[in-house]
Structures are given as C-alpha cells and as structure tokens.
C-alpha cells in the first residue's frame, strides 16, 4: 500500500537533525540557542511523532590527542583539560536529548588541517542518517530533515519517490549568509516543503532565564535538574533544569551533609528556588541543593 493511501487521518512523522549543520545555521548563523523540546513540538505539530534522530560527531581519546598535536600548543595539559570539559558538556547534552524525545546517533570525529593550515573537525554522519531515513520511510507519512546540506538531495528524492512527504528545515537568511551559512538551493528545491528557521525562531529559541513571575510561582517548590557547570576554584556553579532553565548556586546553597567537592558536572540534583533575585545575577538562585538519590515529587519549570 502506498503512503498516500494509508487510512490514518493523523500523519506519522519522523525527524532527522544534522546536528553540526543545525548548529551552524542557528547558533553561528542566526545567533540563538535552540529549545529542543520546543523544536520537537513545532516539527511534529499536527502529526504523530514516530522517532526523532539527532546526528553528531564525538571526540574519542585519539582524536583529542591529534587535535592537541596539530595545534602545537605550549601547554598541552591545559588544552587537554579544556577538551575534557567540553566533552563532558557535549555528553551531558546528548544524554539530555536522549531523555527528552530524541535518539542521539554519534560518530567519531576526524581532525585534520585544511588547505589554509587551519585545524578542522569533521564527522560525516550522512550515511547513518540516510540509512535510518530509508529504513523508516516505509512506516511514516512525513519526514522532516533539519539540514541545509546539498549532499542530501539524492536521499530526499529517493524518500519522496516512496510517497513520503519530505520537509526541509534550514535557512538562507542574509544574516546567516554573512556568518558563513546558506542552505543549498538544490536541497530546498528537492523537498516538498521548506520551512525557514527564522520563521519558527520565536517558537524554538531557548530562553534560559527564569522570569520574575516564574520565580514567584516556583519559589519553595522542589525542582529537578543537573549540574551544568561547576567552578571548583570559585565555589559556585550553574544548574540546568529539566526544562532548560539556568540557575545559579553557591557552595553555601548545598543541603548538609552534601559538600561542594561531592558534586560533579552532569550530576542529577533536586533543589528549591530562592524567591529573592540578586540584581548582580541575571539567573535565579537555588537553595537546598542535594543529589537526586531518592524519588520525590518535583515541579517542572514551565517553558
């Protein structure tokens, strides 16, 4: 039976995000960070989400060492520590995606010097994305490809030939072009529908600050999140809530007997919000921070 003759009134949707390409379009090109829960809602709107994939590169030990060697730095240990911190943050983000509706597919990066002598990082996930899309094409009615890479034109044409509607999400915005990004004309032309990122920006842009109204409503409630950043030498850090909000905490905000040295980045924690806001600190501040080693009822921070 062809895809168009399926009796279901609700379209089945699969989403495929080319992570590096999407980051270049949004963060590098248009200058904003993405609310990935909001992105799922927007892209699956009106349909039934079957699967959402996020494809990205990941450093391994050999790639880290090769990256350091190519930079010929005077302090390789410092660069190695910086790289490890970056890897921890990337893996924390990937874990968050896996827990919030995505299937993360990673591939080892390749590090090399380009023709201009600059150190470049490349992770070609095209094959993995193509295999997954062709595999699931028989079971969905609509495929959303979040990428501007013209290499996907044959894939889009092949999937469309199976009766699946293909939507491409990317940008050809002038600001993005000025910052070195532009979606392929051939890819956009091959798709059944094109959605420009700037048109959905208001619905997918991440706002990581707690508003005064949210602070009043949530003060005193038990919230959940994870340690996003820990400034070990300064005695403070930041929490990322389950809904993407950023919260400041100081070592004095830890609930006894928890000590500052007992917590690490990516640790799952529970906490409350202080009702007062420090004018010098744009983010809300936590109190009674403790490791999430027991089951408690928690309130979610609204998006």
Q: Model confidence over 112-138: pLDDT tens digits?
A: 887 777 877 777 899 999 999 999 999
Token representation of residue 274: 């202080």
Kindly state the DSSP code that residue 13 receives in the 8-state scheme: E
How many CA atoms within 13 Å lie on the side-chain side of 11? Answer: 19
What was the pLDDT predicted at 246?
Answer: 87
C-alpha to C-alpha distance for 9 and 47, rounded to whole angstroms: 9
For the cut 50, the answer to whether the pLDDT of residue 298 exceeds it is no
Beta bridge partners of 13: 49, 142
- Separation between Cα atoms, residue 81 and residue 206, nearest integer Å: 28
Cα separation values, 163 from 15, 209, 293, Å: 16, 43, 49
Question: What pLDDT score does 278 carry?
Answer: 66
State residue 130's pLDDT score.
97
Interatomic CA distance for residues 78 and 212, integer angstroms: 39
- Return the ∠ at Cα 255 (arms to 251 and 256), rounded to 5°: 100
Q: What is the pTM of this model?
A: 0.72
Hey, what are 30's tokens?
Answer: 């248009």
Sequence-distant (≥ 6) Cβ neighbours of residue 172 within 8 angstroms: 148, 182, 183, 185, 188, 196
Strand partners, 48: 12
Is residue 182 scored above 90 in pLDDT?
A: yes
Determine the pLDDT at residue 221. Answer: 85
Q: Using one digit for the tens of pLDDT, what is the confidence trace for 231-273?
A: 888 899 999 887 778 899 999 999 999 999 999 888 889 999 9
Q: How confident is the model at residue 217 (pLDDT cuts 50, 70, 90)?
A: confident
2-32: pLDDT as tens digits: 444 454 578 999 999 999 999 999 999 999 9
Q: Are 128 and 106 in contact (CB under 8 A)?
A: no
């Amino acid at each position: 039976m062809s895809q168009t003759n399926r009796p279901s009134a609700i379209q089945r949707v699969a989403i495929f995000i080319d992570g590096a390409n999407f980051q270049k379009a949004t963060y590098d090109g248009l200058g904003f960070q993405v609310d990935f829960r909001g992105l799922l809602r927007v892209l699956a709107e009106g349909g039934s989400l079957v699967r959402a994939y996020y494809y990205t590169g990941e450093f391994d030990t050999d790639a880290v060492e090769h990256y350091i060697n190519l930079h010929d730095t005077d302090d390789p240990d410092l660069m190695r520590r910086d790289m490890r911190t970056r890897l921890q943050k990337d893996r924390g983000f990937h874990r968050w995606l896996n827990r919030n509706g995505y299937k993360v597919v990673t591939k080892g990066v390749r590090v090399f010097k380009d023709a201009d002598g600059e150190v470049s990082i490349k992770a070609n996930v095209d094959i993995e994305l193509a295999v997954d899309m062709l595999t699931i094409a028989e079971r969905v009615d609509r495929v959303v490809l979040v990428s501007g890479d013209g290499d996907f034109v044959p894939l889009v044409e092949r999937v469309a030939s199976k009766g699946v509607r293909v939507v491409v999400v990317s940008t050809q915005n002038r600001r993005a072009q000025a910052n070195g990004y532009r979606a392929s004309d051939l890819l956009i032309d091959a798709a059944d529908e094109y959605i420009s990122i700037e048109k959905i920006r208001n619905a997918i842009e991440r706002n990581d600050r707690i508003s005064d109204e949210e602070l009043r409503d949530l003060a005193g409630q038990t919230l959940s999140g994870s340690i996003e950043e820990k400034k070990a030498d300064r005695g403070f850090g930041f929490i990322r809530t389950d809904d993407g909000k950023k919260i400041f905490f100081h070592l004095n905000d830890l609930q006894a007997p928890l000590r500052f040295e007992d917590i690490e980045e990516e640790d799952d924690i529970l906490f409350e919000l202080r009702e007062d806001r420090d004018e010098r600190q744009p983010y809300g501040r936590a109190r009674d921070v403790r490791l999430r080693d027991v089951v408690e009822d928690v309130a979610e921070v609204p998006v």
